[in-house]
Amino acid sequence: MAARTLARGMGTFFKECTCKAPTRCPHPYKIRYRDAAGKQREESGYGTQDKATARLTELYQSKKGAQKAGPSDGENIAARSLEDFASNWISHRARGLKDNSVESYERALTVHIAPRLGSRKIGTFTASTVDNFVGDMMLDDVGSAAQVNAYKVLRLVINSARRRGALTLDPFMDATPPDHQRKDIVIPTLEELNLIRHHAHDEDLRLVMEMMSGCGLRNGEAHATNVNGLVSQDVYRISDQIHGRQRVPAPLKHRNWGAFRETPIPAKTRAYLMQYAETHPADSQGYLLTNGGRAGAGVGGSPYYSGNAFRHKWQKVLRAAGITAGYTMYSLRHFFASNCLAMGIPITDVAEWMGHKSIEVTYRSYRHLMPSSIGRAAKLLDTGI
C-alpha cells in the first residue's frame, strides 16, 4: 500500500503488505515521522487508519509543544558556566548543610575550582576535563586533602547538572581521582608530654592540652570546655565546640544541636579542670575558656578562642622544652587514642569516645597502635585443644 501523507510535518502511514485490498486486509499499519530532533522514526502495530492518524496527531502536537516551550532545563544548564551554576547550587544546598560544610564547599570553589574551570560550560565536561583539573592542582602543589575536597565538590556539582539533563555521560566515570596520602601520625611519649606540661605556663593552653590528651577532645571541643560537662566523677560530656573562625558555640562534628557524646575523664585531668575553675570562674553558660577576646587573641567581640589561637604558644612551649619532633596540638588527641589502645581498651569504645563518624576512621588511623593479638590468641587457643 502506498504511503498516505497527512498535513505538512505530521508524517505518513502505510502498509508493507502486497495485498490487493490493503485497506481491508488484516495487516497492521506503520507510521513514519520525524521527532523533535529531526530524526526519522517508524512505529507499527496500528489496526486501523484512524488509530495510525491519531498517533501521528499526538506525536505532532507533542513535537510542536516542545518546540514552542524552547530549550529544556538540561539544555539551559549545559550552556551555563561552571562558576555560575556551582555558586547557585551551593547557595541552595546551604540550608541542609552544616556551616563548616558550606564554608568548605565555598572555599573549594573559590580557591581551586573557579580559577581553573570557572568559565567552562557545564555541557562540555568530559573525563579529560576532570583529569586535567586534578593534574593542574598537582602541578600547583595543592595539598592532597584540598585536592580531594575540591574533587568531591566538583563531582557533586556536575552530578547535579547531569541528573537534570545537562550531560548524557558521567565525566567522573573514567576520571582518576586525586590520591589522598595521609600524613604519618606523630604521637608524643608520656615523658615528652610531661616535659611539655612543665614548660606550658599559660593556664588556658594547659587546660586545652589536658582535655585533648586526657579525654581525646578535638581542638574546638577543648576550647568549649564546660563545667557542666562533668556529669559524674569519671565521665565528661561533650555537647558542643567553638567554631574555628566564627568563634561561637557550634554543634559537634557530624552531629546536630542537642547531640552529645561522653568520654572518660581521668582523675588527673578532672583535678586540673577543677583547679582551673576555682581561679577562672565559668561564664553564664558554663564555659571556662573565655579569654579569647583579649587584645591580640582575636577579633569580632567573641570571648572564645579561634581555631589557631594557641598555635604560636604551642610552638614556643615545644622550643622551650627542646622538642624538635613535628608535634601539633592535635598530636595530643592521638596520644589519647594510643594510650587507650595500649591499655587494651576495645577500638569500638575508642571510636565512640573520639566522635568518629565510622569505626573505619579509627581503625585506619590507629590500627598500627593496637597491641598484636595473634600471639595472645595462639596461647589462649592452646588451652582449649
**What's the per-residue H, E or C state across 120-170?**
CEHHHCCHHHHHHHHHHHHHCCCCHHHHHHHHHHHHHHHHHHHHCCCCCCC
Q: Is the pLDDT of residue 369 over 80?
A: no
More reliable by pLDDT, 375 or 274: 274
pLDDT at 215: 95
Contacts of 137 (CB under 8 A, 6+ apart): 112, 116, 146, 147, 150, 178
| Rounded Cα distance, 366 and 350, in Å | 10
Share of the chain above pLDDT 90, in %: 46
Homologous superfamily of the 190-369 domain (CATH): Intergrase catalytic core (1.10.443.10)
Q: Is the pLDDT of residue 47 over 70?
A: yes
Q: How many CB atoms neighbour CB 350 within 10 A? A: 24
Local confidence band at 201 (pLDDT 50, 70, 90 cut-offs)? very high
98: which 3 cell numbers? Answer: 552544616
Query: In terms of Cα–Cα distance, which of 180, 74, 80, 195 is closest to 134?
Result: 180
Query: Are 291 and 303 spatial neighbours (Cβ–Cβ below 8 Å)?
Result: yes
CATH 1.10.150.130 for domain 77-163: yes
Identify each DSSP E strand in the chain by its residue range: 4-5, 12-14, 29-34, 40-46, 230-232, 235-238, 241-242, 249-250, 261-264
**Stretch 147-166: mean pLDDT, rounded?**
93
Local confidence band at 298 (pLDDT 50, 70, 90 cut-offs)? very low
Contacts of 21 (CB under 8 A, 6+ apart): none
| Rounded Cα distance, 33 and 41, in Å | 5
Query: In terms of Cα–Cα distance, which of 236, 231, 211 is closest to 223?
Result: 211
Place of cell 567573641: 302
| Rounded Cα distance, 48 and 231, in Å | 82
Query: In terms of Cα–Cα distance, which of 202, 206, 245 is closest to 225?
Result: 206
Average pLDDT, the chain: 86
| Rounded Cα distance, 59 and 62, in Å | 5
Query: Are 337 and 317 spatial neighbours (Cβ–Cβ below 8 Å)?
Result: no
Order of strands across the sheet with 235-238? 230-232, 235-238, 261-264
How far from chain centre, in Å, is Cα 375? 39
- Dihedral sign (CA 58, 59, 65, 69): positive
Report phi then psi at 143, rounded to 5: -60, 150
Among 39-43, 175-179, 303-307, 357-361, name the one with the lowest average pLDDT. Answer: 357-361
Report phi then psi at 20, rounded to 5: -70, -30
More reliable by pLDDT, 73 or 196: 196
Query: Are 203 and 192 spatial neighbours (Cβ–Cβ below 8 Å)?
Result: no
